[in-house]
Amino acid sequence: MLTQAVETYLATRRAAGFALRCEGFHLKSFAPFSEAMGQHFVSSDIAIQWAGQARSVWQRARRLGAIIRFARYLRAEDQRHQVPPPVFGAERPPRRTPYILTAEQIRQLVDAASRSGYRTLRRATDRTLFSLLACTGLRVSEAIGLRFDDLTPDGLVIRRTKFRKSRLVPLHATAQAGIERYLEERRPYAPFDDHVFVSLRRKPLLSGDVDSAFRPAVKLARLPLGPGGARPTPHSLRHSFAVRALQTCPDGRDAITQHMLSLSTYLGHCTVANTYWYLEAVPDLMREMAERTEHFVTGGEP
C-alpha cells in the first residue's frame, strides 16, 4: 500500500513542477522498510527509526522531512497515517552569510581577471564572464550554459535552468557591447561550438573552470576575508547584485512589493522568500530596515 502511495504522491508533485530526485529515492526506500515491518500506514516510530539510520543529524532530518511531507499528503484522506515530529531538527543547516563585494572590489576583481592566467582567450573569457555575473546576477550555471541563440536584442534568454524555469534577463547597452567585443575574439577560436563562453580546450566552460579562474583573481585583487573568515566565490557576484538591487528599492508598501516580486523573478528564485533572505543575511540591509522602522514608529512616513 505504501509503495503505491509513494508513486502516486511523487507523480502528483512532479506534475506540479517538482523534480524530487533525492526525496523520491528516500520515499522509495522507506516504503518497503515500513511494509517489511508489517506497517502499511505511515508510523511515526518506524519513520524515525528509518530516518535514524543516516550517518549525520542533518541527513536524518532531511530523510524524516521527506516522510513528514508525504504523511501530511496521505493523512488528508486517511487519518490512520501519522505525521512524525521533526525530532532531528531542521532539514537544512543555516545558510552562510553571503560575501558582498563593493563596486570597487568588483572592478578590482575584473581587472585582476584581465591580468591573470595565460595570455590567451582565457583572460577575455574570465573578464567578460565575471562582468556579466556582476551586472546581471546570473547563476554561474546559467552563464556558462548560454548559447548564441540566447543573445537577443531584448536581453539574455535563460532556458529552463534551476527549478526548470525560463526567463528573459534584460541587458544594459554597455553589457551587450562587452559581450559583442568578446564574441569577436571568441568565434574564430571555437567556430564549431555555439556556447558563448569556451575554455582553452575549445569546449564549453565547466563550473570547475570558473572556480579555477576566480581564485587567482581574488588573490591578485587582494580581496579581504568576510565575516567569519568567509572567502568570495563566483556566486558572491550574484549575491552582490541582489543586495545592490535591494538597496535601490523605492519607498512605499506597494512599490516595495512590486520591487521584490520583480527582483525575485529576475533572479529566477522559486519563491520570493529566497529574495527576502538577503534582508536578514546582510547587516547593511538590516540596518536600513531598522532605521526606517524607527523613523516610522517615531511619526515619520512609512
Please tell me whether residues 217 and 135 are part of one structural domain.
Answer: yes
Please state the pTM of the whole predicted model: 0.69
- Check which CATH number belongs to the domain holding 150 and give it: 1.10.443.10
- Indicate whether 89 belongs to any domain: no
Residues 219 and 274 in one domain: no
Instruction: Looking at the structure, tell me whether residues 128 and 213 fall in a common domain.
Output: yes
With b for 16 or more beta-carbon neighbours within 10 A and e for fewer, the 188-222 pattern comes to: eebeeeebbbbbeeeebbeeebbeebbeebbebbe
Which neighbouring-strand residues pair with 152? Answer: 155
Residues 3-17 pLDDT 10s? 999 999 999 988 877
d(CA 195, CA 294): 50
> 213 with 164, same domain?
yes
User: Do both 112 and 195 map to the same domain?
Assistant: yes
Residue 119 has pLDDT above 90, yes or no: no
Is there a single domain that holds both residue 246 and residue 219? no
Instruction: Find the range with the poorest average confidence among 13-17, 171-175, 197-201, 223-227.
Output: 13-17
Same domain, yes or no: 137 and 191:
yes
Tens-digit pLDDT profile for residues 238-284:
988 888 888 777 666 566 667 777 777 778 776 666 776 776 667 66
Is there a domain that residue 86 lies in? no
Query: Do 146 and 220 share a structural domain?
Result: yes
Please list the active-site residues. 139, 162, 235, 238, 269, 278
- Residue 182 lies inside a defined structural domain of this protein: yes
| 87 domain-assigned | no
Indicate whether 84 belongs to any domain: no
Q: Quick one: 15 exposed, middle or buried, by C-beta within 10 A (0-12, 13-18, 19+)?
A: exposed
Cell of 273: 522568500
Domain containing 255 equals 237-297
* Residues 136/179, Cβ–Cβ less than 8 Å: no
Domain C-terminal end among 59, 75, 91:
75
125 and 221 housed in the same domain:
yes
- Domain boundary (34, 54, 75) is at 75
| Whether residue 175 is found in the same domain as residue 258 | no
Q: Which residues touch 50 (CB under 8 Å, ≥6 apart)?
A: 29, 30, 33, 34, 63, 67
Residue 25 falls inside a structural domain: yes
Higher pLDDT, 52 or 161: 52
CB 5 within 8 A of CB 34: no
Q: Are residues 62 and 15 in the same domain?
A: yes
**141 inside domain:** yes
The confidence score (pLDDT) of residue 116 equals 79
Asked whether residue 88 is domain-assigned, the answer is: no
Q: Where is the domain boundary, 191, 225, 259?
A: 225
List of residues 6+ apart from 61 with CB closer than 8 A: 51, 86, 88, 89, 90, 91
Do both 206 and 118 map to the same domain?
yes
29 pLDDT above the threshold of 70: yes
For 173-196, what is each residue's pLDDT tens digit? 999 999 999 999 999 998 999 999
What is the number of structural domains in the chain?
3
Q: Which residue has the higher pLDDT, 117 or 262?
A: 262
DSSP of the chain: -HHHHHHHHHHHHHHTT---HHHHHHHHHHHHHHHHTT--S--HHHHHHHHTTSSSHHHHHHHHHHHHHHHHHHHTT-TTS-----TT--SSPPPPPPP---HHHHHHHHHHHHHSS-TTHHHHHHHHHHHHHHHH---HHHHHT-BGGGEETTEEEE-S-GGG--EEE---HHHHHHHHHHHHHHTTTSTT--BSSB-TTSSB--HHHHHHHHHHHHHHHTPPP-GGG----THHHHHHHHHHHHHTPPSSHHHHHHHHHHHHHHHT-SSTHHHHHHHHH-HHHHHHHHHHHHHHHTT---
When comparing pLDDT for 18 and 164, which is higher? 18
